[in-house]
Amino acid sequence: MGLLQFDKLPINPLVGADRKTFDAITRGHAIDKPYLGKYRLTRMIGALLATLKPIQDRRYRNRLEQQELEFPPVFILGHWRSGTTFVHNVLAKDSHFGYNTTYQTVFPHLMMWGQPLFKPMMKWLMPDKRPTDNMELSPELPQEEEFALSNMMPYTYYNFWYLPRAMREYCDKYLLFDQITEEEKQVFKETFIKLIKISLWNTGGTQFLSKNPPHTGRVSALLEMFPDAKFIYLMRNPYTVFESTRSFFNNTIRPLKLQEADPAYLEENILEVYTKLYRKYEAEKSLIPHRNLYEIRFEDFEADPYERTGEIYRKLDLPGFESAQDRIKEYLEKKKGYTKNKYVYEQRTLDLVRENWGYAFKDWGYEL
């Protein structure tokens, strides 16, 4: 049990941002009065930590910047709460893969220097369970990289956690890349490459394993960077996804936000963003070579995760399954006793999901 409770965090993850990024994200946005203390404390501590960033910048230039990636990344895609975390954790048992860690999401500028000091401190302070589903939290565990990217540049969708009233603007610009400028996209690409190289260096992997729901709307941009990238796309029962996402967003945003947002507004955005993300992926997935795409319903993966994991390796021609299979089996055995959240759906919820996401039921064979 960490010293701090998730819903009472005195700072938010922007504490790991460099000063330029922090100011670019918050500039022009109202910080509501109840959150001014959190804003000021986050900014003050972040400014102190940012003085150490040049140390990593020098080490990165000297050791990693010119290195070529040996393998194209593997991207696990899908809407939030579609089972991407579970698949990510299973595949991460293969030491061939490298990944972004939870520590790196908060302190991306303190990776090549400072971990022995700051990682134990983070472990001591942070909660050991996610508030929405009791999944384990630890600085070393695999984590989606969007939080890390949001501390390295201002052009990411996860700015909405701090500034939820700009959620729709961030969706069109930085989730779907529909309104992003070429300059902003270039910064995104350069920053992401840097994150990947540091992640591989940190974990000792040779192929980057990404689990990041926002990438679901960026397939064409990712292919511009990595033409032979591999993609795993997960779909899950839309009723479960909606109920779980609404719970996840409402619980997670409370300790992170710097301004108020009406729960009804968040709900409207969940409904809208799901459709936009779904449509964008469906429009761009044809750009992926057939041999590089594996699509599956999460319920089918969950029914036999070991066999489905083997299918992923075979379909995507990934190396190393034989050497990793014992660790994968051991992990899956430990997870057999894990109790998932059980949802009771109100009639209003059923009606909302049917009305707004009915196409997903039809496309993926779920029953209304």
Give per-residue pLDDT as tens, 97-127. Answer: 999 999 999 999 999 998 998 998 888 777 6
Does position 176 have pLDDT exceeding 60, yes or no? yes
What pLDDT is recorded for position 190? Answer: 98
Across the range 262-287, mean pLDDT stands at 97
Across the range 284-288, mean pLDDT stands at 98
Answer yes or no: are the C-beta atoms of 222 and 164 closer than 8 Å. Answer: no
CA–chain centroid gap for 49, Å, is 23
Residue appearing with tokens 């009771």: 344
Does position 308 have pLDDT exceeding 70, yes or no? yes
Residue appearing with tokens 């670019």: 24
Answer yes or no: are the C-beta atoms of 30 and 166 closer than 8 Å. Answer: no
**Distance (Å, rounded) from C-alpha 64 to C-alpha 269?**
39
What pLDDT is recorded for position 139? Answer: 85
What pLDDT is recorded for position 133? Answer: 58
* pLDDT bracket for residue 1 (50, 70, 90): very low
CA–chain centroid gap for 149, Å, is 10
CA dihedral 166, 266, 79, 82 (to 10 degrees): 150
CB-based burial label for 46 (10 Å; 0-12, 13-18, 19+): buried
**Distance (Å, rounded) from C-alpha 190 to C-alpha 75?**
17
Across the range 205-232, mean pLDDT stands at 98
Across the range 49-57, mean pLDDT stands at 96
> In this prediction, what percent of the chain has a pLDDT beyond 90?
85
Answer yes or no: are the C-beta atoms of 18 and 152 closer than 8 Å. Answer: yes
* pLDDT bracket for residue 337 (50, 70, 90): low
Answer yes or no: are the C-beta atoms of 49 and 186 closer than 8 Å. Answer: no
Residue 291 CB partners (closer than 8 Å, separation 6+): 315, 316, 317
Answer yes or no: are the C-beta atoms of 271 and 168 closer than 8 Å. Answer: no
